[in-house]
Amino acid sequence: MTQKIVLITGASSGIGRSTAKKFLEKDYIVYGAARTEAKLQYLNNYENGHYILMDITEAEMRENCINEIISREGRIDILINNAGYGAYGAVEEVPLEEVKRQFEVNLFGLSELTKLVIPKMRENKMGKIINISSIAGKIWTPLGGWYHASKFALEGLSDCLRNELKEFGIDVILIEPGAIETNWAKTAGENLMKTSGNGIYQKHAQRKASKYKEMYGDHGMAAEPAVVASAIIRAAESSHPKARYAVPTHAKLIIFFRWLLPDRVYDFFTNKFF
């Protein structure tokens, strides 16, 4: 069977890096994309590993990335949209420029890159587009409004895209991680304190930042990125993948309780926790 071609964005660390390694261990041809070359050079250690420098918000870099892979391999079988970050802070305090940047990375850049791979997948009558969302696309927490908004939008976009592309043999799949040991939490915490650590929301910001340290600390609930990578592999190799995969177990439980509880009760417990 011909080796499948995988493109992973945000492959420099965390979930993206772990996923790239798992695919390479299973003899896929993997292209990892990110902005920092030094953090992608681990791919040189694998015969089927390649990297491409790309800022997902830059149209020319997106086009160059896809064109380079197509010219070398003739196709892209699996696209894993993993690049993303959290712009945390109170809705009224996050600057509009940062809000736009959040959506450029988490939604618009992702959707534009996806549009570039669809024609070739449609021509081949097969392909998988795997979007890394979050349980943040199903729930909400104080001081996370713009990040949640970007992930809620990604969930809706992916659901529509799944139904638009299924007749062409293209699967669109959502992965919804919970707390994972990556740089995401550090970046989100820093953004939170930078934006809302000194104003009217200071007390709430300090409490949430402290809760993050607890959740993502040595004895917290955060799982290793390999847990998410394994779910991505399952989705990629399934002939009939599910629409969404929540991982790890605590993510499934949180989404279940959100579904079960009325909004006011959920609000009470969320505010109590954070």
Averaged pLDDT, 223-248: 97
Average pLDDT taken over every residue of the chain: 95
Q: What is the pTM of this model?
A: 0.94
Instruction: Of 11-20, 55-64, 158-167, 185-194, give the lowest mean pLDDT range.
Output: 185-194
- In one-letter notation, the amino acid at residue 107 is L
The three-state secondary structure class of 17 is: helix
- In 3D, which of 35, 41, 39, 42 has the Cα closest to residue 9? 35
pLDDT at 146 over 90: yes
Residue with tokens 């990335």: 65
pLDDT value at residue 81: 98
* Token digits of residue 239: 């002939």
pLDDT at 273 over 70: yes
If one compares 189 and 93, the residue with the highest pLDDT of the two is: 93
CB proximity list for 55: less than 8 A, separation 6 or greater:
35, 61
CB proximity list for 262: less than 8 A, separation 6 or greater:
none
Yes or no: say if 3 and 48 are a contact pair by the CB < 8 Å rule.
yes
Distance between CA atoms of residues 64 and 176, nearest Å: 29
Yes or no: say if 175 and 131 are a contact pair by the CB < 8 Å rule.
yes
pLDDT at 110 over 70: yes
pLDDT value at residue 209: 85
pLDDT value at residue 191: 87
Task: State pLDDT tens for residues 24-68.
Answer: 999 999 999 999 999 999 999 999 999 999 999 999 999 999 999
Q: Is 201 a catalytic residue?
A: no
First-last CA distance in the chain: 50
Distance between CA atoms of residues 247 and 26, nearest Å: 21
pLDDT value at residue 210: 86
Task: State pLDDT tens for residues 120-138.
Answer: 999 999 999 999 999 999 9
Distance between CA atoms of residues 108 and 261, nearest Å: 32
Q: Which of 31, 42, 147, 245 is catalytic?
A: 147
CATH topology of domain 5-273: Rossmann fold (3.40.50)
pLDDT at 215 over 90: no
pLDDT value at residue 182: 83
pLDDT value at residue 100: 97
Place 228 in a pLDDT band, splitting at 50, 70 and 90: very high
